[in-house]
Amino acid sequence: ECGEAEEGGLVGRSGKDEGQRFSESGVWKGRSKQQKCLVAFTVIFFLLAVAFFIAFLVVILEKDSEDTSSHAPQAQGDVCITHNCLQTAAYLSNNVDPTVDPCQDFYRFACGRWRDTHKLKAGDSKVDNFWLADDKNKNILRSALMANDPNATAGVSKMRAYFRACEDTEAIDARGVQPLKDLLKTGGDNLFPTLTPLWTDEGWTFPEIVERMGSVGNLQTVPAMLLQVTVDKADSAKVTFEVRPSLERAISAKQKPHVA
């Protein structure tokens, strides 16, 4: 029995020693001090690398956001302070007439000074921002046609030659009105009273005259007088029949052409 007890005791001690050795042979406890330091350093380096990458990514995103916002209108609160906003605000402010009570005459208050500084030119029936832009474009086109460029393309050179022919007032005065008479005769001698002293309106109807004037000699030229029906601007229930010159507004010779 003692032998069995001792043997059992030996067996018990042997199992305890094996369990202790198994516990000490774990992943961390089984490492040396140098290995533990190396693992800790690796983990710390990895965490620092991740933190550096995140910080770098944040900086890049902020820079892209600043570049995008630099092209967008800058605002101070709800007020835009960019150059375009300030220029537009100054333009609108210059049009306002602060001496007028808006409750009494809002149109004069909002557009009073604009009317005072934009007078109608000879031949104009109205003036607005669209007409001003049209004048500016015509001035730019006029300066381009008047420019001397020996290296211009054939198409541009022909266009400039055609334009300068219209500007040759001496040759135009020398020819007189005969070219116009020849053109008007192609539409029929009985159409224009000034061509035939014994002119009579017999056999002519108003629609026929308008049609003939719209296509003088089948040249599809613009008629001397423009006839059109429009809605009355003051009363939309009324219709107005307009008879007015059809020529476009010419650029005054006093206006100095400029290139934008």
Extract long-range pairs of 123-131: CB within 8 Å, 24+ residues apart: 123/245, 123/249, 123/250, 124/249, 125/244, 131/249
Query: What's the mean pLDDT in 153-182?
Result: 86
**Which residue would you say has higher pLDDT here, 201 or 254?**
201
Report the chain's terminal Cα–Cα distance, integer Å: 120
What pLDDT does residue 221 have? 56
Q: Which helix (H) or strand (E) holds 180?
A: helix 178-185
Mean pLDDT of the chain: 73
Q: Per residue in 193-244, pLDDT tens? A: 666 677 777 777 877 777 766 665 555 555 566 777 888 877 888 988 877 7
Residues composing the chain: 260
Of 13-17, 85-89, 97-101, the range with the lowest mean pLDDT is 13-17
- Is the pLDDT at 173 greater than 50? The verdict is yes
- Is the pLDDT at 256 greater than 50? The verdict is no
- Where along the chain do its domains lie? 74-117
Spatial CA neighbour of 87 closest among 73, 106, 66: 73
Q: Per residue in 131-166, pLDDT tens? A: 888 888 989 998 888 888 888 899 889 989 888 888
Q: What is the DSSP letter of 234?
A: S
What pLDDT does residue 2 have? 39
64 close to 72: Cβ distance less than 8 angstroms: no
- Is the pLDDT at 66 greater than 60? The verdict is yes
What pLDDT does residue 140 have? 92
- Token pair for 5: 């007890």
- Is the pLDDT at 103 greater than 90? The verdict is yes
75 close to 58: Cβ distance less than 8 angstroms: no
- CA dist 140 and 255 (Å) reads 12
**Which residue would you say has higher pLDDT here, 24 or 194?**
194
